[in-house]
Homo-oligomer: A and B are copies of this chain.
Amino acid sequence: LHSAFSIKNSVCAPQGFFADGISAGLKANGKKDVAFIYSDTPCDISYVLTTNTMQAAPLKHLKQQNELKTNFVLINAKNANAMTGQAGIDDINEILQSSDHPLTNPVMSSTGVIGVRLPKEKIINALQNFDLSVQNGNSAAEAIMTTDSFSKSIAFDVVLDDGSSFKIGAIAKGAGMINPAMATMLCFITTDAAIPKADMDELLQSTTVTTFNAISVDGDTSTNDTVMLLANGKSGAYDKQAFKQTLHNVMQHLALQMVKDGEGAKKMVAFNVTGAKNDEEAQIAAKALSNSLLVKTALFGEDPNWGRIAATVGASGVTAFEDKLNIAYNDVKVYDQGENLFSPEIEEKAGKILQQDQFTIHCDLGVADGKFRAYGCDLGYEYVKINADYRT
């Protein structure tokens, strides 16, 4: 048993952490575009990276630092430093080594356009200008935004039964490209819990599957996705179950914020697949639904077109049968084991649910006990607009 309280200051809430965001001239209009997270005590670090085979330079650099303790993460927006080869890694080393700050094994994280070298001088200049005594997590959250329409952060104070406590804070960015295999999204989680490195690795991996890897905006994975957990142990407190539960809440909150901020999205939809042959098949079907263009455009059109739900489950290739399938919008059943339940009243009820900002589409396959819940959004004109001219 433990208690968790939502608190302020995101990544700066845990003891010994500092963060800020400033403008380095990468974004237009002098917006913040470079951020740091600093810990006055070196941290253990765990991370989950994109499954994209074209991993960006900062990810390659990060993997080279494995098994080390770090006290500093530098983050920039507007340039992904991806497809830049060894030169991209050299740029990172040159930038990080340029600093007079007391950095221990610093690492970097980037998001933005692919295939262009980092504007090194601007970032070196910004790094020099950072004040490592500032604790402004929100400012860091703003600086890492790209197509995000709002910044994303959260923190919890976890009080254990023995009265000891630790904190977990996080910032994240992500709006487009959020995907089944976790796409252009960055998430930085800090904690002062005295968590063993093995628990960090285990819990970050498993929680990513049910949170960031369960959301989808457009089905594409990026070269730069990174979820990073930094633990400096300063609170001296730890309980695995409490940490696991709170980490899930932190990551789930940020994942749903990303779906809500899906490029041009107006609706957040949970795709709750149950009764699948196993959890893996449930996951395949749920993600197929959250990724289907025909489902997404029907959501945008507020059309309770359950035929597209059934067809998408069928197209996903999982074990499913026309005479065992059930489909419902929230509590309104529309298809039941071979029977179309649409009457004018039911269709109107279903249509009203689709007009809401948030709802759940239930899809019970009636085969066995496998289940998975994915999250997605509608796709409308705004999505096309944002992505047709993102680079410019």
Contact = CB atoms under 8 A, between A and B. Distances in A.
Given A293-B218, A308-B114, A322-B85, A387 B298 contact: yes
B52 A307 contact: no
A312 interface: yes
A346 interface: no
Contacts of A237: none
A14 interface: no
A226 to B, nearest CB: 15
Given A54-B313, A381-B384, A294 B218 contact: yes
A221 interface: yes
Interface residues of A, number: 67
Nearest to A112: B307
B303 A389 contact: yes
Contacts of A114: 305-308, 310-311
A388 interface: yes
B387 A297 contact: yes
B310 A83 contact: yes
Contact of A303 (B183, B384, B392): B392
Given A53-B320, A219-B293, A181 B315 contact: yes
A220 B85 contact: no
Interface in A342-362: 342
Given A85-B323, A335-B83, A220 B389 contact: no
Contact of A388 (B86, B222, B300, B317): B300
A387 B301 contact: yes
Interface in A98-132: 113-116
A115 B340 contact: yes
26 contacts: A51-B315, A52-B311, A52-B314, A53-B314, A53-B318, A53-B320, A54-B320, A82-B311, A83-B310, A83-B322, A83-B338, A85-B322, A115-B307, A115-B335, A115-B340, A115-B342, A183-B315, A220-B293, A223-B314, A297-B387, A298-B390, A300-B384, A303-B390, A303-B391, A303-B392, A383-B384
